[in-house]
Each structure stands twice: as structure tokens, then as C-alpha cells.
Amino acid sequence: MPKPFMNTPPKPEKLGAMTAGFLQEAFAGESQASQKYLAFSARAADEGLPNVARLFDAVAYAESTHARNHLSVLGGIGDSSENLKEAFGGETFEIDQMYPAYDAVADLQGAKEARTSIRYAKSAEQDHQALYEATRAAVQTGEDMAAGPINVCPICGHTVIGDAPAECPVCGTAGQFFRTF
């Protein structure tokens, strides 16, 4: 019988500054490649090329393993309580500083679509911030998050616990198109 699958990416180790910097850059690059290929897959599917879509999906997953491995070696994967705290911090930075600053510049430069993209993201980050905060409180008492569907808008990323709304309150997409996790 084959051994059961174990999630064993390369382990954290003490790194010299150059190696740590290169792994950070490679983590960013692999993450971006993975996301780019998912977007390319969706385009291929729209163009009636399901097997090209499948190729992009497969390679996107492969790139995600590279990103995960680099992050692991960098020591960026903790236990779930730590990870929820880290995730909360990232969302909070985006809400309080990053997106407000980016939006101010986009406004000055008259970048309308960029402002829409920023607004979608900032709004969804607020959903995530709240969800991570509530979930961390549960995990710290040894509980898992409550079971039940989590629904995500495919356009703006609005994230809700429970059933999808009839219409996304942020971007107007019909709830039937939400993706359920």
C-alpha cells in the first residue's frame, strides 16, 4: 500500500540575507505566475479551449507548490493561530494604509478602472479581516471554525459566511455566480 500523503514541503532553516532575499523574490514571482495562469485559464475557457484551460490550471497549481515551498523555507508558515494573526495583519495593512494610499494616487491620476479594482479589493479585505479575527478567537480556544458554506463573489471577492446574497452588495454580480467553499 502506498504511504499516505504527508504535507512535507522543504523545512524552515536559518538563511543568509541573500538567500532569504532571493527566496522572497521567488515567492513573489511564483505567486504571480500562479495567479497569472489562473487568469489565462479563464480566458482559454471563454475562448472554447478547455484543454488549454486545463494546462494553465495544472501549471498554476505547480507554481503554487513552488511558492509554498519557498515560503516554508523562509519560516512563513506557522500554526493556525499564528497564521490567522499574520493573515489579519496583512489584511489590516491593506485596508488602513496600502489601498487608501494607492486609491489617492489613482484618483490624482484619473485612473478609473484602477480605482474600481482597488475599491473591490479594499472592501473584500474588510470581510477577510473580520473573518480572520473571529476565527482566530475560536482557534485559540481549541475550536475549529463553524461548519457551513463560505461564498465568494467571482468579480470583487466579497466573502460571506453562509448563503450568497441575491446580488453582490459591492459589485452587483448575481449571487448564483458566487463560488462556494
> Which residue lies nearer to Fe ion by CB, 94 or 139?
94
Nearer to Fe ion, 23 or 168 (CB): 168
**Which residue's CB is nearer to Fe ion, number 69 or number 81?**
69
Contact 118, 107 (CB under 8 A): no
What is 30-75 written as a DSSP string? HHHHHHHHHHHHHHHHHTT-HHHHHHHHHHHHHHHHHHHHHHHHTT
Closest approach of Fe ion to the CB of residue 168, in Å: 3
Phi, psi angle pair for 62, to nearest 5°: -60, -45
CA 36 to CA 79: how far, in whole Å?
28
Q: How far is the CB of 165 from Fe ion (least distance, A)?
A: 9
- Residues in touch with Fe ion (CB under 5 A): 30, 63, 66, 91, 125, 128, 153, 155-156, 158, 168, 170-171, 173
As measured in angstroms, the least distance from the Cβ of 67 to Fe ion is 8
DSSP one-letter code for 176: G
CB of 83 to Fe ion, least distance (A): 14
Instruction: Choose between 63 and 103: whose C-beta lies nearer to Fe ion.
Output: 63
How crowded is the C-beta side of 114, counted as CA atoms within 13 Å?
Answer: 13
Taking the least distance from each CB to Fe ion, the nearer of 103 and 125 is 125
Alpha-carbon distance of 47 to 53, in angstroms, equals 9
Q: How far is the CB of 59 from Fe ion (least distance, A)?
A: 8
